[in-house]
Amino acid sequence: MTNKVKTEKTDSAKIGRGLDVGTAFIYGAQKMGSRVNFTTQRNAFFDVERSEFTEDILKGSNVKYVLGEDKIYVVGDDAMKLANVFGRSARRPMRNGVISSEEDEALPLIELIIKSVLGAPFEKNELCYYSVPALPVDADFDITYHQNIVKSILEKCGYRAKPINEGLAVIFSELAEDNFTGMGISFGGGMVNVCLAVMSIPVFSFSIARAGDWIDAQVARATNESLSKVATFKETYFNLKKPESAMTKVEQALLIYYNSLIEYVLAEIKKEVTKNSRIPEFEKPIPIVISGGTAKPTGFLEKFKETLKKNSFPLAIRETRLAPHPLYSVAKGTLIAAIADNKRN
């Protein structure tokens, strides 16, 4: 019995781990036999006044928290639950795909969330690939700081860490049958990440600093609703196929900003393809695969295809499809990268 457990652990260690570090969610992926296991936490925190009484209560619970000087920071899914109880919004350690410069306490909080998602390595220096966004085309910030901080958090947890571009992770996850040739797009919370690859080699990748959070903020402003109400409605009920005449004010605004985001993303892809001198001559039309939480509402894929058809596009596209599990796609891709790396070495 003990032996069996030991063998499983050693096998898993050889296989490696995947980690999707997203603005809204952090996902971990590991192979268990023939299955992939995913773990997740909201990338969020909620602060309460620090008191011995509250500390004692939290100590006796499973809630994950960090002690600040005069505050207690509850992190992950529990932060969302507490925020709902108190009718406030949870805060985020990341913004637009990278660690937020506006939150002083971001680092210990993100460290705790990553630890709770991944757990300890099966053996010291187990390989873990983690997702990083590409450089944004429409915002002035760098990803080097973010990339290095996540790496050092993983190393502190006992992993050997390697970054992989988020769009490329989508390609690793979804385009194996196409020999990893095509375009991967992740419509996330803080960003949209785009990557074009030939046989797993990136031709270009870039990000756009607007996605689900941007839609929520625009809709909340236009309709005078709270951000959390808009986000909850969007995630639970929104359907892009509903006839416009039957839509409420919030639904109409969501439709307007979804349309605007898709048009904006396609225009940026077009710009990149047109100006990039390294675009290869593809032998045949390529697939586009779409993932990420913002692509989840019913009708998103149809809306994307419609917009693509309306505009002339500089690449021949064979098909556009949605990843079967849009929220898990990046994590799965990071795990595949770790497995492939371990097999090579």
Ligand X SMILES: Nc1ncnc2c1ncn2[C@@H]1O[C@H](COP(=O)(O)OP(=O)(O)OP(=O)(O)O)[C@@H](O)[C@H]1O
Q: Which residues bind ligand X (CB under 6 A)?
A: 22-25, 97, 186, 188-191, 211-213, 231, 234-235, 292-294, 296-297, 327
The interface region with Mg ion, picked from 7-15, 87-95, 186-194, 211-219 by CB under 5 A, is: 186-194
Question: Which residues make Cβ contacts (< 8 Å) with residue 88, sequence separation at least 6?
Answer: 46
Q: Which is nearer to ligand X, 268 or 279 (CB)?
A: 268
Beta carbon of residue 22, minimum distance to Mg ion (angstroms, whole number): 4
Q: How far apart are CA 167 and CA 329, in angstroms?
A: 10
Measure the CA angle with vertex 163, ends 160 and 168; round to 5°: 140
Task: For the CB of residue 338, give the shortest distance to ligand X in the complex, in Å.
Answer: 18
Provide the phi-psi class of 125: left if phi over 0, else alpha when psi is between -120 and 50, else beta.
Answer: left
Among 12, 16, 21, 22, binds Mg ion (CB under 5 A): 22
Burial of 296 (0-12, 13-18, 19+ CB in 10 A): middle
Residue number with CB closer to ligand X (21 or 72):
21
Considering CB distances under 5 to 8 angstroms, the limit depending on partner class, which of Mg ion, ligand X, none binds residue 341?
Answer: none
Say if residues 187 and 212 touch (Cβ distance below 8 Å).
yes
Q: Where are the alpha helices (DSSP H) in the chain?
A: 2-15, 52-59, 77-86, 106-118, 144-156, 166-174, 212-223, 227-236, 249-275, 300-310, 329-344
| Binding window for Mg ion (CB under 5 A); candidates: 17-25, 73-81, 141-149, 229-237 | 17-25
167 binds, among Mg ion, ligand X, none (CB under 5 to 8 A by kind): none
Of 20-28, 213-221, 247-255, 314-322, which part binds Mg ion (CB under 5 A)? 20-28
Q: 22 or 182: whose CB is closer to Mg ion?
A: 22
Which residues share a beta bridge with 198?
Answer: 201
Closer residue to ligand X, CB minimum distance, 64 or 92: 92
Residue 293 as a binder of Mg ion (CB under 5 A): the answer is: no
Parallel, antiparallel, or unpaired for β 71-75 and 65-67? antiparallel
Which helix (H) or strand (E) covers residue 161, if one does?
A: strand 159-165
Determine contact, residues 162/341, Cβ cutoff 8 Å: yes
207 binds, among Mg ion, ligand X, none (CB under 5 to 8 A by kind): none
Position of tokens 């709902």? 84
Question: Would you say 211 or 220 has its CB closer to ligand X?
Answer: 211
Cα–Cα dist 68/280, whole Å = 52
Binding partner selected for residue 183 from Mg ion, ligand X, none, CB under the kind-specific 5 to 8 Å limit: none
CB of 25 to ligand X, least distance (A): 4
Put residue 97 in one of left, alpha, beta given phi > 0 → left and psi -120 to 50 → alpha.
left
The CB-of-231 to ligand X minimum distance in angstroms stands at 5
The one of ligand X, Mg ion, none whose footprint includes residue 293, by CB under 5 to 8 A per kind, is ligand X
Q: Residue 19 or 127: which CB sits closer to ligand X?
A: 19
Residue 188, number of CB atoms within 10 A of its CB:
29
Instruction: Output the residue with the shortest Cβ distance to ligand X.
Output: 212
Closest residue to Mg ion, judged by C-beta, is: 188
Residue of 188, 297, 326, 333 interacting with Mg ion (CB under 5 A): 188
